Structure 1
């Protein structure tokens, strides 16, 4: 697996930043994620935050980091989805109204994409489902090799299920019948291979076949994914289950460096904007959850630097209690952080930055990991990868701290392999 990374700075500067793939042939291989804005089950489901990351971001990150494609696209009819797609490094195809209705098939939408982008010379399309957040680069790489090296015309994802199926009874007096078992000889699970079921994670096919009306045709092959990676989200009840699954089995990016330093802007991230006025003093409150997050980072070897544009005694009390370094009166965040990193001999790739205002944006774009509270300035939220469920000063930092530790854990395990 490639360890190169498409940084957020590059993603914001260009929508055509897919890593150059190692070619085994000269065909143009494209990934396409269909993400219309009219989902009725979960409104704007494709960009709803799942474990801090927009849902579509999980599969776009896997597709780009696979190093398999010449281009990665999102087909959408919605402005907000377009913004998120570009933030994660994808190109955008603005689909027509005709293929943006509930009754339109995925096949028709992909056909329109190919016809309207005929000048791109796309030979193979991997239609990746936005609602499959546990997709990893290795799944894509192995499946695509069945096309590029195995001579297949189409490949689709399946999962092995051990479930007995019965005929539905629709009329009174009708008796149900089994589809895939003998009731007199019910097999034990360990004695039965089960059945291969489409899990919808992806459908890969040659463009000429798609234009003829086939997503699965010609020399077909399936790619079997483990059940732990086979997650789908259709209705609200699926969401908490998917969130727990993605935290354990999701792909957290190709970071080759562990986060060694968190830089957190106190203003708006550790405070909620409330000021308590007394006769002679004013005071600010800090959330105990955020203090726990800071302690967990330090316990796991991540240094913490707190910064503020203000000079407040309460900030110093916070830093003393959390045993963190503090720098106040920091007006130019970018210049200060770059000087600090040189002194500490750290790279931006080893830094996680948590900010919420527009003056944090350059630091957010440069950092290896970036996060913002739920109520951060709109431009900050559009810049970062991770957005907390909680607003600033209400546990947002603890959520980001947990995410940092998960990324470091995944990074360490990948280095051990």
Structure 2
């Protein structure tokens, strides 16, 4: 039987902007799902449904086939089933529909090829018409009644409490993988069809929806099935100013004039980077003229007085026909986190705030204003 994996990955997300571009352990959420599907020996093709050019770029680099999703199917109201139906419709135009669809969601970052295989196998063996990856639930569930009082759902609270291990097995969807027959899905428009099997997963079940979810998931990196990667030399190094070029302190004179201290080693590091073809851009929230003055001294471009760094940098990249994968970003505080999470490689000084240190690909030995940019140049072996 022919099996195709379909991964819906839209660009918009209310909870976390550009969520599917975010990284855990050096891999984007979308890339992780593509790798899990493509490494499964039962999957012959991997399709990504997206409305976002950046996600399409990432999917292509990872070896998936991209199906561009129309705007009408990329809204908050559109369902995953809508995206799946659209992809199957596009595949069907060639007359070559798969027998089985494995539907993966990017928000489960640690899905393995083995779990994808285990979810598909019951359909191939004829034991099920649809299946989903699950975790066993051992909890006592309660539900509100019409009178505002609660009653037991999976247990009779009016009787003596049974032991947890004596409860009938129950399963909760992890949301990571579903499998079903393509033609049944096209007819029923439902991922749950006929005989349904719950497959217990082996990976830690996460549902990434917030920055806090990403921080918690990073604690599982030691058990991550994917290998560590060393980044290639980026095309552009994007740096915050305060806390990177400086130590974050501001000296204020009695006349209210502000001044900061920079490190000449960083200046030489930027000169070396530029000689080796690495462009450098300062992106700063600070409106102080000293930011632009320092950039002019270094001969590099500067965008300052910037409150929405993610949108501004995204527009700058688009104007240069660059992708997020083309840049390394170095920042030290919470207003850098969005850019750090979607950049091809993320870096912070040693004295960055804890939340930043917990989300970047590389935490430097040098603090801000003490040669951290020079350390980046040495990391990329430019000197």
Which bin holds the TM-score, normalised by the shorter protein? 0.5 to 0.7
Give 1:110 shift.
0.8
Give 1:274 shift.
6.2
Partner of 1:220: 196
Partner of 2:50: 76
- Give the 3 Å change call, closer, same or farther, for CA 152–385 of structure 1 in structure 2: farther
8 Å Cα contact 2:103-2:179 kept in structure 1: yes
The match for 1:90 among 54, 64, 73 is: 64
1:164 equivalent in alignment to 2:140:
yes
Partner of 1:208: 183
Count of residue pairs brought into register by the alignment:
275
Give 1:308 shift.
11
- State how 1:53-64 maps to structure 2 within 5 Å: 53-64=27-38
- Give the 3 Å change call, closer, same or farther, for CA 98–371 of structure 1 in structure 2: closer
Partner of 1:38: 12
- Give the 3 Å change call, closer, same or farther, for CA 224–35 of structure 1 in structure 2: same
Q: Partner of 2:149: helix, strand, or coil? A: coil
Give 1:250 shift.
2.8
- Give the 3 Å change call, closer, same or farther, for CA 64–265 of structure 1 in structure 2: closer
The match for 2:173 among 167, 187, 198 is: 198
The match for 2:108 among 108, 127, 132 is: 132
Give 1:195 shift.
1.6
- Give the 3 Å change call, closer, same or farther, for CA 104–264 of structure 1 in structure 2: closer
Q: Deviations over 1:193-218 (max 9, x none)?
A: 55211111111111101101231112
Gaps of 5+ in 2: 247-262, 277-324, 332-338, 366-383
- State how 1:95-174 maps to structure 2 within 5 Å: 95-118=69-92, 119=94, 120-169=96-145, 171=147, 174=148
Write the distance in 2 (CA, Å) between the matches of 1:233 and 1:223: 21
- Give the 3 Å change call, closer, same or farther, for CA 121–266 of structure 1 in structure 2: closer
Partner of 1:388: 346
- Give the 3 Å change call, closer, same or farther, for CA 54–265 of structure 1 in structure 2: closer
Write the distance in 2 (CA, Å) between the matches of 1:392 and 1:83: 32
CA RMSD of aligned residues (A): 4.0
The match for 1:374 among 329, 351, 354 is: 329
1:237 equivalent in alignment to 2:212:
yes
Partner of 1:185: 160
Q: Partner of 1:214: helix, strand, or coil? A: coil
Write the distance in 2 (CA, Å) between the matches of 1:44 and 1:375: 19
Write the distance in 2 (CA, Å) between the matches of 1:78 and 1:283: 40
8 Å Cα contact 1:53-1:385 kept in structure 2: no
TM-score (norm 2): 0.61
- Give the 3 Å change call, closer, same or farther, for CA 222–87 of structure 1 in structure 2: same
- State how 1:298-313 maps to structure 2 within 5 Å: none
- Give the 3 Å change call, closer, same or farther, for CA 100–397 of structure 1 in structure 2: closer
- Give the 3 Å change call, closer, same or farther, for CA 264–206 of structure 1 in structure 2: closer
Write the distance in 1 (CA, Å) between the matches of 2:44 and 2:364: 32
Give 1:69 shift.
1.4
Q: Partner of 1:33: helix, strand, or coil? A: strand
- State how 1:395-410 maps to structure 2 within 5 Å: 398-399=362-363
8 Å Cα contact 1:386-1:400 kept in structure 2: no
Write the distance in 2 (CA, Å) between the matches of 1:170 and 1:390: 53
Write the distance in 2 (CA, Å) between the matches of 1:194 and 1:222: 11
8 Å Cα contact 2:49-2:87 kept in structure 1: yes
